[in-house]
Amino acid sequence: MKSVNICVVGTGYVGLVTGACLASVGHRVVCVDSDKSKIALLKKGKMPIYEPGLEEVVSRAVKAKKLFFSTSIPDAINHQGHRVEAVFIAVGTPPRSDGSADLSFVEKVAEQVAEHMTGYTVIAEKSTVPVETGEWVHKTVTRFAAPGVEFDIVSNPEFLREGSAVGDFLHPDRVVVGTNSKRAAELMKLIYAPLKCPILITDVKSSELIKHASNSFLAAKISFINAVANICERTGANVEDVAKGMGMDKRIGASFLKAGIGFGGFCFPKDLEAFYWISRQKGYDFDMLRAVKEINEDQKRWVVRRAEEELWNLGGKTVALLGLAFKPETDDMRFAPSIDIVAALKERGAKIKVYDPVAMPNARKLLGGVTFCKNAQECMKDADCLVIVTEWAEFKNLDLEKVRALLRHPIVVDGRNIFEPARMRALGFAYKSVGRQ
């Protein structure tokens, strides 16, 4: 296999996983980030983010002299005499207050790459960006590139799930490449050849839309089953059986039909908002996306409603929250449901104790006025109510008799349906779960 010289700009979840995995399959990769402390950590072999398996992949690639780190785009583009052939832009595209994406980081990277590239370069959008961003990147590079230096702009969206990102990258369902250039398409095929997966070649705009459409559709599946769960609670049906019956239909599939307290993380909420903003900008009111968001927001309030059903007034009561990250196997607190749940409980005067296996450092930056506990047992001790927010394996394996003994009142609000209702009732718990009796 021919090795390609690659630069990845940005060492967040997407950039670092992309760079490390591309290096692990034989390419020469330089990961760049303007955050000097982050690069210093990586050069010491320490990870700036929590992602299972990533540290091992990085370590092996560094030892093989396939993966390097830098704080300088000019250095990365001509690193140790190796001219870069492809640049992946994997910087943040945070949401603005109106739901649109802030693309200023993408623009700055495009400028710097243009100023320092010395030969034909494929510049790939790896960050999630709105449709038509490729046109702006092309204009920017054209303005700043030296005369005669050729380049192509490619859209190459990521489909990584935090907590399983390494496996998702190395064993993908598909790779999407948006380009109108046969030369760029061939280079991208070469880069991804080791993954031995289907590669969809399309135009740039279609590729950009695929990412937003995919995430919005998955968010819609989650909100749909949560809406169904509300009907189940009102009729006595079991949402897990309903979801199983739906998922057995090959046209629907079982994935993302898990009822709970809603989705979080950086991708789904941000991409949903951005796609809705894009549709309005183009004169189409995509009302369905607004409904998806409203259902998701209401699921967070479900926790408070269920706690009040058992405790009546929450003022002065102690509520224990197990799990803070938006999903297990990550320390990511961005748009985590726990943030809004804590705020709603505090508004009603509740005292809050919290614990998460890995997200505590990030949670301390976001949550004020709560008691951070060193383990689950300390969190539950003398609490009036226990709320399951994130379905970590260690919570699924709790000794429930000990849980009952630790709580002041045996009340559990299970926002992730990790326990069985019949068993919980048999053990003497007042048990509330999503869409189950």
In sequence order, which ranges of 159-317 are alpha helices (DSSP H)?
165-170, 182-192, 204-235, 239-247, 267-281, 287-311
The angle at the Cα of 293, spanning 248 to 321, to the nearest 5 degrees, equals 85
3-state secondary structure of 82: strand
Rg, the chain, Cα only: 24
CB atoms within 10 A of CB 221: 18
Q: Report the alpha-carbon distance of residue 150 to residue 214 in Å, rounded.
A: 32
Task: Return phi, psi of residue 263, to 5°.
Answer: -95, 155
Among the options 21, 232, 267, 373, which is catalytic? 267
Distance CA 338, CA 221 (A): 21
Using the structure block, give the residue that is written with the tokens 């591309």: 22
| DSSP character at residue 335 | T
Phi-psi region of 310 (alpha: psi -120 to 50; beta: other; left: phi over 0): alpha
- The CA distances from residue 197 to 159, 174, 189, in Å, are 14, 6, 10
Residue 107: φ, ψ to 5°: -60, -45
Our answer to whether residue 267 is catalytic in this structure is: yes
Closest C-alpha to 320, from 387, 242, 224:
387
Size of the chain in residues: 437
**The sheet that has 28-32: what strands, in order across it?**
67-70, 28-32, 5-9, 86-89, 121-125, 151-155, 175-178, 199-202
Q: 334 near 264, Cβ under 8 Å?
A: yes
Helix (H, G, I), strand (E, B) or coil at 404: helix
Two structure tokens written together for 338: 């726990």
> What is the per-residue DSSP string for 110-166?
HHHHHHH--S-EEEEE-S---TTHHHHHHHHHHHHSPTT--EEEEE----PPTTSHH
- State the catalytic residues: 267
